[in-house]
Amino acid sequence: MRTKEGPVAAVEGLRERIVAAATELLEESGREAVTTRAVAARAGVQAPAIYRLFGDKEGLLHAVADEGLGAYLSEKEAQGHVEDPVDDLRAGWDLHVDFGLAHPALYSLMYADPGTAPPASPALTAAEEHLTRRIRRLAAAGRLRVGERLATDLVHASGRGTVLTVLAEGRRDDELLTRFARGTRRRGHDRSPRLREPSGPGRGGARAPCRARQGHWVVDGGASASWGEWLARISD
């Protein structure tokens, strides 16, 4: 008795081939190159097969973006965890930025245009859970003084904003990345007013070991500080 494994596998293989062809065109020449005709030619299929599997071009782009999220997630899973939760968060942020700069067209499809970002999917949910777990580790270590949800949103916005800003410049700006990822080094003679955490329940009125100068956050003590350390120490 024949099973459905053969036909199902064939359809899945066809789907993967079409998504791979669309991804190649996207990364080679940008979103405008991802036309139904070009994808069909690259994948060696007829255009109706694309409509049958994905509905329309936007459905295909959703699938490409979701596949990109899956590749990003695989890199996250392979990365593992760093013992120190701040270093672990920094490593995750660096991976996010490196992935975006290595795949600019794919990253822009995933994050720059809400209209083409994939709808809720297992890959998207898993990627968000990775960040949530890193933030939760900070909280469990007592190094997070903002709410976990706010911290998660800040880190996500920081990574996405950094990548999209660099991509908009059309070149990799290592100085910009350094400012985002490592903060700015405090000069010994800088006597800018220090920020204080507001007094209140759970805060104790302790002084925050960070200051604002010309729009940048710097850490006392003259050491270069990561944005993760700033996030881990500042109060809400």
Looking at residue 32, what DSSP letter applies? G
How far apart (Å, rounded) are the C-alpha atoms in residues 212 and 74?
Answer: 37
Helix (H, G, I), strand (E, B) or coil at 90: helix
pLDDT, tens digit (0-9, with 9 covering 90-100), for 79-88: 778 889 888 8
- What CA–CA distance (Å, rounded) separates 132 from 31? 31
Please state, in angstroms and rounded to a whole number, the distance separating the CA atoms of residues 125 and 216.
32
**DSSP H or E segment with residue 177:** helix 174-182
State the pLDDT at residue 41.
97
Measured in whole angstroms, the distance separating CA 35 from the mean position of its chain's CA atoms is 26
Q: Is the pLDDT of residue 19 over 90?
A: yes
Cα 211 versus chain centre, distance: 27
Gap between the Cα atoms of 139 and 229, Å rounded: 13
Sketch the domain layout of the chain as residue ranges: 1-55, 56-233
Distance of CA 140 to the CA centre of its chain: 23
Asked if residue 30 has pLDDT above 80, the reply is yes
Backbone angles phi, psi at 211, to 5 degrees: -135, 160
When the pLDDT of each residue in the chain is averaged and rounded to a whole number, the result is 73
Of the options 3.30.70, 3.90.25, 1.10.10, 1.10.150, the CATH number for the domain spanning 1-55? 1.10.10
Rounded to an integer, what distance in angstroms lies between the CA atom of residue 116 and that of residue 133?
27
- Residue range 177-207, pLDDT digits in tens: 655 554 422 322 233 333 233 333 333 333 3
Give the CATH fold of the 56-233 domain: Tetracycline Repressor; domain 2 (1.10.357)
What secondary structure letter does DSSP report for 196?
Answer: B
Q: What is the pLDDT of residues 49-71, one digit of tens each?
A: 999 999 999 899 989 988 888 88
In this predicted structure, the answer to whether residue 219 has a pLDDT above a threshold of 50 is: no
Which of 11-25, 100-114, 135-149, 179-193 has the highest mean predicted lDDT (pLDDT)?
A: 11-25
